[in-house]
Structure 1
């Protein structure tokens, strides 16, 4: 009887031990599951692809207006912008943290007409191109960038690029850039080359609706401009802004 009682006590103790192990096993299994989930989440990455690119003027820029040595703020200014449409084909979010422009050409067009006095207007851009720098060089956005594209989604954003307002003159500016999107995971996407032109501030040479107005006072300076613009349009794979293409057409009589 004593042996039977001892055996029963042992079985009860064993059962109690096994019951006590159940929460510990569940806890370990839950921890392993959480670790596996965390591992899978960490492996989820975005996969951005560019679906469309176009360039045109925007009329939503801020800038400065200078007259008789006095400077004040200006709004609603025209300037070149690049529209970029992207799609995220990855399993996780894609976050663009930086946008840079690799500049291969940057120069002012010629003008030989009057300037209409001392009034000068210059716009501020997200990426400002210093005219004193000789291409090629790279410039980044002046403000912090965080553009999040969720998995499976399409999105669109715009970046403005133009001459540094401290150096911009009255003549239109021409630039050729390749835009690089920097993803938070270290991957980059290059877009370009893209041909851009600013409106300038010359009363005898300026964009007008879907073309450019070239007054007789400026016509004598257009041959060099026609050569420059034609050279840019012959760059392999070039994407020209609407205003740049219009300028190319307007300058045909001077080539």
Structure 2
């Protein structure tokens, strides 16, 4: 499914979020930079990296980034954009096709790990978080960005109706993949948001768990340390 929507994925995210997606991803990069006391030379793993938007943002600040995703179609777009976008002053991004629940990396290999919009789509997110902790060095930060649900009941109704109408409409208009975006809408409804992510982080051995909401709680960032 994600391979089918890869070509228009970034454009639909920009349109559906009214440009907020870019701001949220910058916030993730800023949080990770603070948590690592600078990104220059840090080895960062971007799990469920998709088309590489977050990976490129981290690499542009000097991080040594490995992006991994289970969708070959998404990685094809990521590699193409990397080839088009390469900056001579930054390290190249390495992309790997793999299952986030069974990461093919050594124990304690990375200085930090991040995932944006990916954990929600994994069959066993706890297993993925546990494996992300395995490949991180002691004290390494994790940042998780995903959609969430507003607390305010009026804002929640507006947001849910907007999402249910706009996501499939954009999917149909730009790629004929409205069903894929109907699935994404349903997956957001079923997701337990920041509270669920925070609980899973604690259950899988991460510590110093905290979170913050973004844009009226339609998205949230959870952070912790290995």
The TM tier, using the shorter chain, reads under 0.3
Considering fraction of residues, name the structure with more helix: 2
